[in-house]
Structure 1
Amino acid sequence: MQPASAASPSTAGTKNASPDHHRSIPRPALTDTVQNPAEAAILASGLAVTAKEMPALIRAVARKLPADAGTVRAALLELRRRGYVARLADIANRSGIVWARREDLRAAAESIDSLEAEDALLEAALEAAIATRLRDAGRTPEAALEAIAAEIADGGGGGLTPPRMAALAQAIAEAHGHPAPDSFAEAVRATEEARRAERRSAEIAAREARRAEVKRLREWERSLVPFQPVPELLGCTAKEALRWIAAGLIPVARRIPGKAGERWEFDPVELAPLRALVPDWRSREEKPAAPALARGKSGNAAVARVAALDRYAAHFATARALIRRITLVTGPTNSGKSYLALNRLAQAESGLALAPLRLLAHEFREALATRGVAASLTTGEERMLIPGSRHVAATVEMCPFRNPVDVALIDEAQMLHDRDRGAAWTAAIMGAPARDVFVLGAPEGAAMVRRIAKLCGDDIEEVVLERKGPLIAARAPVPLGDLRAGDALIAFSRRDVLDLRAELIRRGRRVAVVYGALSPEVRRAEAARFNGGDADILVATDAIGMGLNLNIRRVVFSTLRKFDGEQRRDLSVQEVKQIGGRAGRYGLHEEGVVAVLAGAGAPEVLKRLLEAAHETPVETRPLVQPDADIVAAVAAEIGSDSLFGVLARIKRAVLRKDDPNYRLADLAAPMAIAGVVDGVPGLSLLDRWTYALCPIDLRDNGVARLGRWAVEHGAGRGVRPPEAGRLPPPDRARPEELERGEKVQRRLVAWRWMAQRFPAAFADGAEAEAETQRLNAWIEDVLRQQRRGRAATRAGSA
C-alpha cells in the first residue's frame, strides 16, 4: 500500500506530532468550574482534549468512575478510534482499495494504541488488517481471489477492472506468502481481461438478440390488420368471416381489450393460404386441416396452439392415462391432515409425498421411516436414493410426472394462490401420476382444487377436519417482559427478529430464532433448541407457518402489519390463522393462545381475525407456466433460438386475460435471466431455460451471478462453488458477518441446484456440501450465543 500523497483534512497540522505527545498540542480552554467527577478526572489526567471531544469523553468516563489517568486515556483512545475509522476509509478510497470492508477499518483502528496517529501509522494498520482477512478468505490465493472478487461483484458494483483485479491479486498473493506475487498478479490480469471480453461479448449478443426479437415482434404487430379487410382478403362476406372466426377456422392473431369491447387483429400471412379453402368451407361443415404457416411469421394464435396452455391438463399424459381420485383434506393447523394422509401413503405399495420446502420433504421421509417405510428423497439441491424403495419424498417442483405410483400426497394446497410458486402446485396436482391423490391444505385452497379436478376429469372427495385443541385469543396485550417459556414471538423481517432477540437476551431470556434466510438445517436446529428447552422463547417470522413441529404454547404477534414485497398491509385472516394455529400443539398443551405484543395492536382486532370465516379468494383459475417441452415447441414454431424471444411470445400469445380456465404465471424473473444468458455461446436453448428456473435471490445480485456462471459453463470451464473463507469465532461474529454467511449459504443453494442439472460444469459437489455443512454449523453456533448487553444489542441492528 502506497502512502497517500496528501494529508487528510482531519490530520492537517498534526503530521509532526509524536505518539502520545499531549503537551505539545494546546489544550482548549475549559470551564473553570469542575461540574462533575468525570470532568475532574479528565482534567487531572493532563491529556489534551478538544472542546468537541469533551462532552462525549465526560459521558464515557462517568460510566467508569472512579477513573485514573489510565482509564481516561483508554476512554479517549476509544473515542478517537472512531475518527480513525473515518480517516482509514478516506485512505482506502484514495488508494483504490475497494476490497476494504468496514470491519477491516474497525480492526485497523482498534489495533492502534496512539492518541495521535499519523497517516503512515493508519496505513500500516489497515494493510495488516486487510492482509489478515485476505489470508483467511481462502485456503489458496486462487480461492481467496475468487471469494473476494465474487463478493465485490455481488455487491452490485459491477466487479473489478483488470488492473484492480491485478492489484487485489497482488495483495492476496503477498498475504498468502506466494513466492512470485508479481507473476501471479499479471496472470490474473490477463485472465480477467479475457473473461471480461467473454462476458462483454455475451452481454452484447444477448442485447442484440433481445432487440431483434422485440423488433421482429413489433414488425409483426404492425403488419396486422383489423377485421374490415378480412372479407376482401378471403373473398367472402363479412357475415361469413364472422361465422368462420367463431368456428375457429380463421385465426385471430391478437385480441386487444378496450372500453368499447375487444378489438381483433389478423395476420395477412396466415390469411393468405385460407382463401383457397373458402369454397370448401361453404360446402362443408367440418373443419379442414390447418394450413401450413411460414416459420418466423407465426401469429399469436399459432403460438398459443403450440403452447397449448389453455389445455394444460392434457400435458400430463401419464396422469391422464390413469383413473385418478382426488381426496381433498382441508382443516386448520393442528387438525391432523398430514397424519391422516401419511398413514394412507405408508400402506400403499408405492407412493409420493410432495412438500413445499426441502425441510418438510425431509420430515415426510422421516415420518414414513417411523411407519416402517423407506423413502428416497428428491429436492432441487439433493438426491438420496434408497435401493429398492418405491416411495419418494420430494419438493413440489420435483414431482416425477412419468413414474406412476399408487398414492400421492401434496401438502399446503393453499400455495396454489402464491404468485411466485403457485404454478408448481397446479402442475403437481394436475400431473401427479397416482391413482389416489391426497391434497392437503387450508380451506382457502379448496375452490381451486375443485376446479383443477374438474379440468382433469378426476373424481374428488372432500374431508374436512377440525382442530384437535381449542385456539383462543388473549384478552389483553402481552408486555415484552411478560413473555414466558413456550412463547413464540412473531415478526415479519429478519431485522425485527434479530432486534427482538437482542432485547430479550439483554433481559436475560434464552432465545431461539427462525427466519427465511436461514437454511433448513439451521431452522431445524433452532426448533430443536426451543422444543428441548435450551431456549425459552422462539422469535420467528412467518417461516414457521409451514412445517417445523414446534412445542408452542402461545403465539404473540409483535405487529399486525407486514410488508409483502409490494406494500405494507394488515395481516390477512389466513395469515393469522396459519401462524397463530401453531400455538397449542396437540398432546402437549390443552389449548393454544394467540396474543399481540403490548403497543403492537388491539387484542380485539386479533380476536376478530382469528374467529373470522375463512376468506375464499375471488380468483380460482390456477396459475400455469411453460415447461421445457413448451419452450422448445414455441421456439420451433416462431423459428427463434432466443429464450427471451420465446418467453416474450408466450407472454403475449397464450392465455388471454379472460381465459375461462387458467392464468399465466409471472414470467418476469425467467425473462430477466434469459436477457443475461441468451448471448452465452455453448449453451443450448433448453440449457438457458434451466438457468432461467434457478432459485436465486434477486436482492443479492443473483441474475448477474447466474450470467457469470453461464459464461464459465458455456466456455467449458468448471464453475466453483461459493466459499465463505475463514469464519470468525461465533462468540465474536458481528451482524454483518452473520448476514454475509447467510448470503453465501443462499448462493450455495443456487450452485447445488445447478449441480443437479449440470454435474459436469458444477462438478465440486462434495466441496459444496462440505462448505454448506460448515456454514450451517457456524450460523447455528452464532445464533446459540446468548450474550447480554451492548454486544447483543448490536446483533439486533443487522
Structure 2
Amino acid sequence: MTSDHSASPARDALAQVMRRTGLAPEAKEEHEVLRRLARALAPGARDVPDDTYRHVLCLVRRRKWVSRLLDRTRRSGRIWITREEMEEAAATVTNPEPDDQTLENALAPVAMARLRGYGATPRAAFESVRADLVDTGRVPSPAQTELLLMAVAVAFGLPEGDPFLDTLLSEERQRQHTATTIEQTGRERREQEEEQLRAWEESLVPFSEVPRLLHCSGREALRWIAENRLPVARKLREAGGREKWEFDPIQLVALRGKLVEWRRDSKGDDTPPSVGHVAPDMGRKVANAVIARVAALDRYAAHFRTARALNRRITLVTGPTNSGKSYTALNALAQAESGLALAPLRLLAHEFREALAARGVEASLATGEERILVPGSRHLAATVEMCPFYNPVDVAIIDEAQMLFDTDRGAAWTAAIMGVPARHLYVLGAPDCIPMVRRIAELCGDPLDEISLERKSPLHAASQSVRLTELSQGDALIAFSRREVLDLRAALMQHGRRVAVVYGALSPEVRRAEAQRFNSGQADILVATDAIGMGLNLSIKRVVFASLRKYDGRETRDLSVQEVKQIGGRAGRFGKHEAGVVAVLSGAGSPTFVRRQLEADAEIPEDLRPFVQPDVDIVKAVASEIGSQSLYGVLSRIRRAVLRKDDPNYRLADMEQAFAIASALEGVETLDLATRWSYAMCPVDDRDNGIRRLVGWAADHAAGRRVPPPGTGRLPAADRAGREELERAEKRHKRLVAWRWLALRFPEFYPDREEAEDTTRQLNDWIESVLRQQSRARRSTQKS
C-alpha cells in the first residue's frame, strides 16, 4: 500500500505507518483498523504515531486473542478460568503479534488475583470455584480438580510442601469415590425396588378371586369395599371405560380374621350384585372411599384430624387486584386471641407480620429458611408450606388461593385450606378460585360464606401501543424472562432513564429494595417479570406488557385472562393514582388483546380436582404397608398405585423433582425415611445442578460430617460487574436458600446459620448495588 493524497486520510495514514512498523492488518481486519484510525487522526492529519497504530491493532485483535486463550485453557483442563478473565488479560497485551506464551503470561496474574478473590482462605476459594463450576454443569474431573487445587495453592503463595494440596486432593478423591459409590448403589437399589414393584403388580388378582381368598360372598366383598374395609390395591381403566379392580392376595388372606366383626357390623345387604372382575360404577362417594386406602389420599380431608375436630367456618373473599381483600381478614386476625396468616411468598409472610404489627399485634414468623419467635405471641405469619396442622387458632388467613391450580405448589394450598386448624378461616384469592374452594369446603364438610369485592380504582386498557421512548415515570414494563428484563433495562438506560428491576431469581430482600427505589421515585421505571403479580406493594401508574406471550415451562402461549388481570391490575394503586392503565409495547402485540382479556370473565379451569401429595406421615404409612424403607420405592408405589389419573375427586401433584431427589439419594447410606423426605422437599433448582449438590450434602450428613454454608464467591466492585457475575451471585444465593432450609431441619449437621445469614446479607447488598448502577449497564450493552 502506497501513500496517495486522493485516498482517505485514514487509508493514507495506514499506508505510512505500515511502512515504518512492518505491521499489516489482515484483510478481514482492515475495515475496523481504518475506522479506528480515522477516529484517532487529528483534524487535517494524514498520519498517526506508531504506538497509536499498535494500540489500534491490539484493540482489533483482542477478540481473537481471547479465542486463543479459551482454546488453550479448555484444552489444558483449566475450566475455571472465565471469559471475563481472558478479556481482562487480553486488554493488557501491547504487542500486536503476541505468541501463546505472551498471552499466558498476561493471563496468569489476572487468574491468580481472581482465585484469591473467591475466598479468604485457599479452602474457601477452592470450594467456591468448584461450586460455581457445578452450577453451570461443568463438574470438574479428578485431573481438572487437581489442576485447580494447584492453581489455588500458587495464587495464595503456599510454600512447597504445604499440606493444603495433599489434604484437599485426598478429600476430593474421597468425594469422587463416594459420589461414584452412591450412584452405583442407588442404581442397584432402584432396580431392586422396581423389580419388587413389578412382582407385586404381577401378584395382584382380579375381583373374581376375592370371595375365594377371603372366604366370603361377592356381595359381601362389594359391601366391604364400599365401607373402606377391603383395600383395592390398584384400579385400571379398560377399553370402553370399564374399570378393573385388582387386589393384593396376601392382604386379603390377612383380613380373614376380621370377617366375623365386619358381618356383625353390617346392616342389611343392599349392595349391587357381583359382575365378575369388572367393578360396577358405584358413584363418586364409593369410588372416593375405596382408593388409596393406605396413603389416605381418598380421605385426604380426614388426614387433618385437628382441623376436622374443630367446628370450622370458611369465608371466601374474592376480587381482582386492588380490591382490598386482605383488609377485613387482617382486622379479624388482629382482633382474635390467636391467629395464623399464610402467604405464598416469604416476602408476603413478612408483610403480613408487619401488617399485624401495625395493628398492635406482635407475630412470630416461619418460612422455609428462617424463624423469628416472639415470646408469648399467639399469632404466626408463615409461608403456606409451613402451615402448622396441630395447634388450633381462632382465625387464619390463606392468601392467593388461585394458586390451587398451580401444578408445582397447588398441593400446599389444598393441604392448608383443608388442614389449617382455625375456627374461622379466611381464604383470599382471585375470582377463578371460587369453584375449587367450594369443592374443598364440601369435601371437608365445612360451611362456606362468600364475599365478592370490586376493584377500588378503575382499570382500563390503552387504545394505542406504547413506544419504549414514551415510557414515563411510574410505568412498569413487563417481560417474561431474566434476559429480557436486563435487555430492556439496558435499553432504557441508554435513553437516560433510571430503572429498577424485579425478577424471580432475585431474593425477596432485593426485590423489596428495588420496589422501594421505584416507589420512592429514585427509579423512573420498573422493569419486571410476572414476579410482581404477588407480594409487592407497588405504586404503578401504568403497566406495559413487553410481550403478550410467555413460556410456561412446557410451551410458549398467549397470556391468560387471569395473568393479564393479575399483572395489569397492579396499575393504579388505590390512594396513589386515580386510575390504572394497561398497555402493550409497540411491536409486542395488539392493544385489543389486552382490552379483551381485561374485560373477559374469569377463566375457570375444566379440572376442578384439587392437587394432593403425600406428607411425611403418609410416606411412612405407605412404607410400612409395602415393607420398604426406600423413599424411591414408596414414591414409585404412590405414583403407580395410590391415586389413578381419572380419580373423581383429587389429582396427584407434580412430584417429579421430589422423585428425582429420592432417586439420587437412593445410594446414600444410613439416612432414615423421614430425613430423605425432608431432603426431597428441599428447594433446589436442578438447572443449576442443585440435586447433585444436595446429594453431596446428604452424603456428608449421613457420614456425620458438618456441612459448611456456601460462601459469597468472588464479588467484584459493583460498578464493574457484568451480567455473568450478577447471575453467578444469584445462583450462590439459591445455594444459601437451600442450605438455610436444611439448617432449620438438621441444625447439628448445618450448624453455622449466623455465617450463612451474614453471607446472604452480603450477597443481597452486592446484588442490589449492582442493580443500582446506571452507567455500567449502558457500557455492558454497548460492549455486547
- Whether TM exceeds 0.5 here: the answer is yes
Separation in 2 of the partners of 1:226 and 1:92? 64
* Shift, 1:724, TM fit: 2.5
Of the candidates 152, 161, 164, which is equivalent to residue 172 of structure 1?
A: 152
Of the candidates 700, 706, 710, which is equivalent to residue 698 of structure 2?
A: 710
In structure 1, the partner of 2:180 is 200
Separation in 1 of the partners of 2:365 and 2:228? 46
* Shift, 1:175, TM fit: 0.8
In structure 2, the partner of 1:97 is 78
Cα distance, 1:283–1:189 mapped onto 2, change above 3 Å? closer
Partner of 1:307, secondary structure, is coil
Of the candidates 218, 221, 237, which is equivalent to residue 257 of structure 1?
A: 237
User: 1:755 touches 1:765 (CA, 8 Å); kept in 2?
Assistant: yes
In structure 2, the partner of 1:25 is none
Of the candidates 121, 133, 146, which is equivalent to residue 127 of structure 2?
A: 146
Alignment of 1:232-381 (within 5 A): 251-260=231-240, 261-272=242-253, 285=266, 304-381=292-369
Separation in 2 of the partners of 1:223 and 1:30? 93
- The question of 1:579 aligning with 2:567 is answered yes
* Shift, 1:659, TM fit: 2.6
Letter of the 2:48 counterpart: D
* Shift, 1:382, TM fit: 0.7
Larger mean Cα displacement after TM superposition, 146-155 or 347-356: 146-155
Q: Which runs of 5 or more structure 1 residues have no equivalent in the other structure?
A: 1-28, 289-300
Larger mean Cα displacement after TM superposition, 772-781 or 148-157: 148-157
Separation in 2 of the partners of 1:243 and 1:404? 36
In structure 1, the partner of 2:279 is none
Separation in 1 of the partners of 2:668 and 2:497? 53
* Shift, 1:253, TM fit: 2.6
Separation in 2 of the partners of 1:222 and 1:34? 92
In structure 1, the partner of 2:109 is 128
Of the candidates 49, 53, 58, which is equivalent to residue 77 of structure 1?
A: 58
Alignment of 1:43-62 (within 5 A): 43-46=15-18, 47-62=23-38
* Shift, 1:330, TM fit: 0.3
In structure 1, the partner of 2:282 is none
* Shift, 1:705, TM fit: 0.8
User: 2:234 touches 2:642 (CA, 8 Å); kept in 1?
Assistant: no
Separation in 1 of the partners of 2:760 and 2:533? 25
TM-score by length of 2: 0.92
Partner of 2:239, secondary structure, is coil
* Shift, 1:151, TM fit: 2.0
Separation in 1 of the partners of 2:364 and 2:257? 59
Of the candidates 141, 149, 167, which is equivalent to residue 187 of structure 1?
A: 167
* Shift, 1:440, TM fit: 0.6
Of the candidates 11, 15, 24, which is equivalent to residue 39 of structure 1?
A: 11
Cα distance, 1:640–1:786 mapped onto 2, change above 3 Å? same
1:502-525 CA-partner distances (Å, limit 9, x unpaired)? 000001111110000000010011
Partner of 1:304, secondary structure, is coil
In structure 1, the partner of 2:609 is 621
Matched residue pairs, number?
Answer: 756
Partner of 1:157, secondary structure, is coil
Larger mean Cα displacement after TM superposition, 100-109 or 58-67: 58-67
Cα distance, 1:277–1:375 mapped onto 2, change above 3 Å? closer
* Shift, 1:688, TM fit: 0.7
1:466-512 CA-partner distances (Å, limit 9, x unpaired)? 00010011000011110000000000000000000000000111111
Alignment of 1:726-741 (within 5 A): 726-741=714-729
Partner of 2:329, secondary structure, is helix
Separation in 1 of the partners of 2:577 and 2:615? 46
- The question of 1:681 aligning with 2:669 is answered yes
Of the candidates 79, 92, 104, which is equivalent to residue 111 of structure 1?
A: 92
Separation in 2 of the partners of 1:319 and 1:258? 38
Separation in 2 of the partners of 1:280 and 1:467? 59
Letter of the 1:117 counterpart: P
- The question of 1:508 aligning with 2:488 is answered no
* Shift, 1:222, TM fit: 1.9
User: 1:405 touches 1:434 (CA, 8 Å); kept in 2?
Assistant: yes
Letter of the 1:177 counterpart: G
Cα distance, 1:401–1:540 mapped onto 2, change above 3 Å? same
Partner of 1:306, secondary structure, is coil
Partner of 2:439, secondary structure, is helix
Cα distance, 1:789–1:621 mapped onto 2, change above 3 Å? closer
Alignment of 1:387-402 (within 5 A): 387-402=375-390
User: 2:62 touches 2:91 (CA, 8 Å); kept in 1?
Assistant: yes
Partner of 2:646, secondary structure, is coil
* Shift, 1:350, TM fit: 1.6
* Shift, 1:302, TM fit: 10
Separation in 2 of the partners of 1:262 and 1:408? 41
* Shift, 1:71, TM fit: 3.9
User: 1:170 touches 1:181 (CA, 8 Å); kept in 2?
Assistant: no
- The question of 1:424 aligning with 2:400 is answered no
Partner of 1:87, secondary structure, is helix
Cα distance, 1:749–1:247 mapped onto 2, change above 3 Å? closer
Separation in 1 of the partners of 2:261 and 2:325? 59
Partner of 2:137, secondary structure, is helix
Q: Which runs of 5 or more structure 2 residues have no equivalent in the other structure?
A: 270-288
Give the share of equivalent positions with the same residue, in percent. Answer: 61
In structure 2, the partner of 1:591 is 579
Partner of 1:256, secondary structure, is strand
* Shift, 1:540, TM fit: 0.4
In structure 2, the partner of 1:11 is none
Cα distance, 1:328–1:31 mapped onto 2, change above 3 Å? farther
In structure 2, the partner of 1:742 is 730
Of the candidates 535, 540, 543, which is equivalent to residue 555 of structure 1?
A: 543
Of the candidates 553, 565, 574, which is equivalent to residue 565 of structure 1?
A: 553
Separation in 1 of the partners of 2:224 and 2:349? 51
User: 1:558 touches 1:597 (CA, 8 Å); kept in 2?
Assistant: yes
User: 1:508 touches 1:788 (CA, 8 Å); kept in 2?
Assistant: no
User: 1:327 touches 1:460 (CA, 8 Å); kept in 2?
Assistant: yes
Partner of 1:305, secondary structure, is coil
Separation in 2 of the partners of 1:686 and 1:486? 49
Partner of 2:572, secondary structure, is coil
Larger mean Cα displacement after TM superposition, 310-319 or 227-236: 227-236
Cα distance, 1:546–1:245 mapped onto 2, change above 3 Å? closer
User: 1:555 touches 1:583 (CA, 8 Å); kept in 2?
Assistant: yes
1:205-247 CA-partner distances (Å, limit 9, x unpaired)? 2222211110000111122334555566567777776676666
* Shift, 1:254, TM fit: 2.0
* Shift, 1:42, TM fit: 2.4
Separation in 2 of the partners of 1:134 and 1:549? 41
- The question of 1:637 aligning with 2:618 is answered no
Of the candidates 464, 478, 498, which is equivalent to residue 466 of structure 2?
A: 478
User: 1:519 touches 1:776 (CA, 8 Å); kept in 2?
Assistant: yes
Partner of 2:705, secondary structure, is coil
Alignment of 1:447-526 (within 5 A): 447-526=435-514
1:302-321 CA-partner distances (Å, limit 9, x unpaired)? 99322111111112222112
Of the candidates 671, 680, 684, which is equivalent to residue 692 of structure 1?
A: 680
Separation in 2 of the partners of 1:287 and 1:64? 103
1:255-305 CA-partner distances (Å, limit 9, x unpaired)? 2113222233333333445678889989984699xxxxxxxxxxxx99932
Letter of the 2:137 counterpart: G
In structure 1, the partner of 2:272 is none
User: 1:167 touches 1:185 (CA, 8 Å); kept in 2?
Assistant: no
Larger mean Cα displacement after TM superposition, 548-557 or 163-172: 163-172
* Shift, 1:623, TM fit: 0.9
